[in-house]
């Protein structure tokens, strides 16, 4: 399998490898894929509550070089974006940027899924947090 130079670069120098505290209310975590399929991605975003902008993103990936590169690139793109802008990232953007061959397109799909899962987790926490805040606020209101 011949990899593009960009895939090789991300594989050898992955950006933003690591983990954010998953219980932090401003952190959204997406875990997609399955070990038996040969791909598992964990992607996390940390959203600044004042600005609504993603100011940190981390990933860990079990998978081939293209899967690692797709998730590494995704974290690069996520930083500095609003939550809505993040949801606009399409797998085809990743395919184009990394010159992924047809047999590796599923890696980009998984990265898009990971972004969506992380944002969904973040939004779920915000809603839950909002309800809790409302409840706590009620007695004194």
List contacts with another protein (CB under 8 A). Answer: 1-3, 8, 11-12, 14, 17, 19, 31-42, 59-68, 103-104, 106, 109-110, 113
Catalytic residues: 37, 107
Q: How far is the CB of 34 from another protein (least distance, A)?
A: 3
Beta bridge partners of 58: 44
Of 56 and 85, which has the nearer Cβ to another protein? Answer: 56
Least distance between another protein and beta carbon 19 (Å):
7
Q: How far is the C-alpha of 80 from the C-alpha of 21, rounded, in Å?
A: 19
β-pairing, 27-34 with 54-62? unpaired
Nearest distance in Å: CB 70, another protein = 12
- Return the number of the residue (4 or 82) whose C-beta is nearest another protein: 4
* Residues contacting 45, CB < 8 A, separation 6+: 20, 27, 28, 54, 56, 57, 78, 86, 115, 118, 119, 122
């Amino acid at each position: 399998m011949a990899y593009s130079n960009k895939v090789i670069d991300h594989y050898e120098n992955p950006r933003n490898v690591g983990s954010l505290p998953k219980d932090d209310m401003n952190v959204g975590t997406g875990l997609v894929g399955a070990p038996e399929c040969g791909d598992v991605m964990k992607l996390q975003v940390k959203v600044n509550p004042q600005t609504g902008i993603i100011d940190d993103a981390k990933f860990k990936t079990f998978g081939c070089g293209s899967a690692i590169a797709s998730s590494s690139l995704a974290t690069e793109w996520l930083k500095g974006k609003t939550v809505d802008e993040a949801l606009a990232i399409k797998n085809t953007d990743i395919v184009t940027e990394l010159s992924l061959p047809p047999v590796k397109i599923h890696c980009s799909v998984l990265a898009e899924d990971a972004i969506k899962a992380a944002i969904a987790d973040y939004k779920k926490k915000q809603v839950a947090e909002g309800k809790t805040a409302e409840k706590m606020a009620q007695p004194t209101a």
